[in-house]
Amino acid sequence: GESVGLHLPTLSVQEGDNSIINCAYSNSASDYFIWYKQESGKGPQFIIDIRSNMDKRQGQRVTVLLNKTVKHLSLQIAATQPGDSAVYFCAEARLSGYALNFGKGTSLLVTP
Amino acid sequence: GAGVSQTPSNKVTEKGKYVELRCDPISGHTALYWYRQSLGQGPEFLIYFQGTGAADDSGLPNDRFFAVRPEGSVSTLKIQRTERGDSAVYLCASSLTRQGDGYTFGSGTRLTVV
């Protein structure tokens, strides 16, 4: 079946560097994509979203890029901080729907 | 409250027992969702409520799983005859709209079946 997946299961970066987390999706009907951050013992926390009619969206220190041609999504975190250490999930959905389809997650470790 | 509250935070039960997991959504959120997250995996959709009714329960793995939301607020996920494979974190989320950006997740209930 169609699925959402991540290219890298773990990512280690130095504090202050930029981080890039990648995600591939295969359901061409998805028109809404979300990045979540999940810290140990907590539920997923919304970071940023993007609709399929956009290819880039910026937030505070984060940017999401969407490449519909190759069905690829990325999350860029600028000036990564220790508090950014967590597991990051991308999720796909349909704006007309409600269920989120999550990938497996990438563990981001920020070292001093 | 300010967020989605789930109780208990941890539950250990013996195989074959019945368990109930509670979710208290954000006040005013009409949509409520249950997800299940196994170790090292992303959350998987179980069931969606709009108000009091289960609009979509297609994610429930089998008929041992059941959820209710009788007054359109608090929801209870019920699991009968628990199996070791049911061990996971059960996450609840609520939203104002059906779109994902309105989702607020609770911290989950970690269920361990021994």
Summarised one tens digit per residue, pLDDT across range B36-92 is 999 889 999 999 999 899 889 999 999 999 999 999 999 999 999 999 999 999 999
Q: How far apart are CA A32 and CA A38, in angstroms?
A: 20
Residue B114 covered by a domain: no
Nearest to A102 among B43, B48, B55 (CB): B43
Judged by DSSP in three states, B5 sits in strand
Residue B59 covered by a domain: yes
Min Cα distance B41 → chain A (Å) is 5
Question: How many domains does chain A divide into?
Answer: 1
Nearest to A95 among B59, B99, B104 (CB): B99
Non-local (6+) Cβ contacts of B24 within 8 A are B1, B4, B5, B6, B7, B73, B74
Task: Provide, rounded to the nearest whole percent, the portion of chain B with pLDDT above 70.
Answer: 95
Residue B37 covered by a domain: yes
Residues of B in contact with A99 (CB under 8 A): 33, 45, 48, 56, 59
Tokens standing for residue A92: 């796909």
CATH code, B37? 2.60.40.10
Domain that holds residue A63: 4-111
CATH code, A76? 2.60.40.10
Tokens standing for residue A21: 């987390």
Residue B52 covered by a domain: yes
Domain that holds residue B85: 23-97
Residue B32 covered by a domain: yes
Question: How many domains does chain B divide into?
Answer: 1
Residues of A in contact with B107 (CB under 8 A): 41-43
Which 3-state string (H, E, C) describes A82-103? HHHCEEEEEEEECCCCCCCEEC
Min Cα distance A18 → chain B (Å) is 24
Residue B29 covered by a domain: yes
- Cα separation values, B101 from A92, A97, B91, B93, B98, Å: 11, 12, 16, 11, 9
pLDDT per residue rounded down to tens, chain A (112 residues):
344 554 448 999 999 999 999 999 878 899 999 999 999 999 999 999 999 999 999 999 999 999 999 999 999 999 999 999 999 999 999 888 888 999 879 999 999 9
Residue B112 covered by a domain: no
Q: How far apart are CA A51 and CA A31, in angstroms?
A: 6
pLDDT tier at B1 (50, 70, 90 boundaries)? low
